[in-house]
Chains A and B, each alone.
Chain A
Amino acid sequence: GAVVSQHPSWVICKSGTSVKIECRSLDFQATTMFWYRQFPKQSLMLMATSNEGSKATYEQGVEKDKFLINHASLTLSTLTVTSAHPEDSSFYICSARSGEGGGNEQFFGPGTRLTVL
């Protein structure tokens, strides 16, 4: 199956700093990438949908100025948590969908655990 990687796998930062998380599709071109947030023992909450070369579409309640998403190429999307605070601590997961006959299946990355002190 298609492989999606995330970097870093975990990060600890001080309150007020910004953190960038990368999501890469390793063996296919992803026209659309999705960013999710997963709280402990809860389901994945979609944060935003990102299409290559265009602005991301954010879900209701997600601050676009706080969670900056860039999808500059068909294999890379980045999520930057700006001025992070302890309540931003969570597990962030990306997924990627191929636009070439891949149907509607999404391939998930392993996730990035963010801890804000």
Chain B
Amino acid sequence: AQSVSQHNHHVILSEAASLELGCNYSYGGTVNLFWYVQYPGQHLQLLLKYFSGDPLVKGIKGFEAEFIKSKFSFNLRKPSVQWSDTAEYFCAVTRRDDKIIFGKGTRLHILP
């Protein structure tokens, strides 16, 4: 069965630190990949997505992710985090016209 693994359940960083959140998936064939963010008290928002083309994807708010097919990975990165990045981050994968499978989420806490 397809699954999505997020390695870090809870990450604590200081402002201006660099961020990398790991995401691996188990699904053969062509996939679509997503990172969603859920700020405290708000609903899920799309950060970025990969469908095809350049495996380095730029998203909103300075986030980027790199799709490495050979490693079945789609790690999320940001060179310098801000306090406002405190949120929960979900990696998700789906095949075309199939349902989205979410990872368990990573809770990111940025210290001011």
Contact = CB atoms under 8 A, between A and B. Distances in A.
Interface string A102-117: 0111111111000000
B90 A104 contact: no
A93 interface: yes
Interface in B1-56: 32, 34, 36, 42-46, 49, 51
Contact size range, B: 20 to 34
Contact of B43 (A46, A104, A109): A109
A108 B32 contact: no
B58 interface: no
A107 B34 CA distance: 12
Contacts of A107: 46
Contacts of A110: 42-43
Contact size range, A: 10 to 19
A41 B9 CA distance: 10
Interface string B100-112: 1111110100000
Given A104-B32, A104-B51, A43 B104 contact: yes
B104 A106 contact: no
B85 to A, nearest CB: 19
12 contacts: A34-B100, A41-B107, A42-B105, A43-B90, A43-B102, A44-B90, A44-B102, A46-B100, A104-B98, A105-B46, A107-B46, A108-B43
Interface of B: 32, 34, 36, 42-46, 49, 51, 90, 94, 96-105, 107
Interface of A: 1, 34, 41-44, 46, 49, 93, 95, 103-111
